[in-house]
Amino acid sequence: MGDIDFGKSLNAAETTIPGLVVFDLPVHGDSRGWFKENWQREKMTAAGLPDFGPVQNNVSFNDAVGTTRGIHAEPWDKWVSVATGRIFGAWVDLREGPSFGAVFTAELDPSTAIFVPRGVGNSYQTLEPDTAYTYLVNDHWSPDAEYSFLNLADETAAIDWPIALSDAEVSAKDLAHPRLADVRPIAPRKTLVVGAGGQLGTALREEFEGLAHVEWTTRDDIDLGAPDLAAARRWRDYDTIVNAAAYTAVDRAETPEGRTPSWSVNAAGPAALARIAAENGITLVHVSSDYVFDGSSERPYLESDPLGPLGVYGQSKAAGDLAVATAPRHYIVRTSWVIGTGNNFVRTMASLAERGIDPKVVDDQRGRLTFASQIAAFIRHLLDVRPAYGVYNLTAEGDVVTWADIARRVFELGGHDPARVTGVSTAEYFASASGPVAPRPLNSVLDLTRARDSGFTPRQGDELLQEYLRS
C-alpha cells in the first residue's frame, strides 16, 4: 500500500494560485487494501470545494516512472486525484489577470486531490510505475472551446521537475508548446445581456461600458423560444446571463393581442434561460416587478411574501420569477415604478408642465420610483460581491409617495406650480378608458433591508429625480 497517509481528515488548503485548492482526503486501509471517497459532493462543498457540477470522469494510466504530460489549460474546471501511484503536479495560471504566470507544485498520492479552476494550466510527472491519474471535469471536450498551452521547459515558470525532461517520457506535441511570452491567456467567462435594447439594457451598457467580456443581444439576435437554444452558444463559456428583456405594456397584456407576447417574454423566456443556466453553471440575473403582489399589504413587501398578481402582466412576471428560481445560481431583482430612457411618467409630466396642461394623476397608489441606472448599479454590485442567491428588492430610498406626489414634484422642479396637478383615484382615472385596463396594486412599497444588508446603499429618490430631470 506504499506510503499513503491513512491518518488524514478532509481538509482544504489554498495555494499561491487563486482558486487552486489542495484537499487532503481520508483514506481507510487494512490488510486487504484501502478505500476512499474520491469525490463526495456534500462533504467536499462543505469543506470549500466549489459545487462545480462535473459531467465526465477521465482516467490516464501511466506504465513508467517519468511519464510527463502538460501544460494544458482548458475552459473548464477539474478535480484531479490519483487512484494509485504518485505524481509530481505542476500548475501554472494561464488566465487573463494579475496572477497570469503564477506557479504551484505539489506531490499527489491517493490521499491528496486538487481543484483546478478553469484556465489554470495542468501538468504532471509520474513518480511511481503503474500510476493511475484521474480527473473529473464539468464540461465535455469541444473543438470550439478555447484552449491554451505552455511549454514544460518554460524558463519563466522554471518548474523544477524531479526527473529531467531530457530523461522523461514526453510527447512531441507537449514539447512544442509555446513559452509564456507567447501564450494566449484564457479569457474570463463572459456575461450575456439579453434585451439590451430597452431602458434597462441602455443603463446596463453605461454601467458595464468598456468591459470586453460583456456581450449584448436584442430580440433580433437571440430567440429564447427556439428549440435549439441549448446549442445556440457554447454556454459553458458564460458565467452570467442578465435578463433585461420584459413585456411592460400592462394594459395591452389584458387584450388577446397582448396576452401571448406578455407570457412569451415574461415567463417562457426566463424559463428557457433558467434551464440553460442550471445546465451550465451560469448565474442568472432577472428583473421582476411589484405587480407580482396584489397590493393589499399594510406594510412594505418582503422578498419572502407570497405572490398574488392581479392581472395578466403580473401573472406572467410571477411565472417568470418562479421559473428563474429553479436555477441554482440566480438573482431576482424586484423593482417598482421604473424610470429610464424613452417615454415614461416623469418625462410625460415634465412635458405637460412645459405645455401648460394641468393633469389629473392617480393618488391612491403608493410606492417609490426605481431608476434604471440604479438597477444596473445594483446588478453590478451583486455580480461583484456575490451575496447569497435569491430575491432582492430594489427601489430608491426615501419617503413613500403617490404618482400625484411625483407629478407635483416634477412640476415644482421645473419651476411650475405643483397645485396644477389634481389627484384622483385609480377608478376615477380609468373610468373613461376605451379598452381593457390592468388592475394595479395600490401598495407597491418594497422593503429594502436585504439589499442594504448585501452592502448596497440605495440612493434617495428625490436626489435621483433631480439628476434625471437635469439630464
* Residues taking part in catalysis: 72, 135
Q: Which of 458, 448, 362 is nearest to 406 (CA)?
A: 362
Amino acid at the residue 405 = D
* C-alpha 163: how far from chain center: 43
State how far the Cα of 441 lies from the Cα of 295, in Å rounded to an integer.
Answer: 4
The three cell numbers of residue 240 are 452570467
State how far the Cα of 181 lies from the Cα of 183, in Å rounded to an integer.
Answer: 6
Give me the residue label for grid cell 505539489: 106
Q: Which of 40, 102, 38 is nearest to 73 (CA)?
A: 102
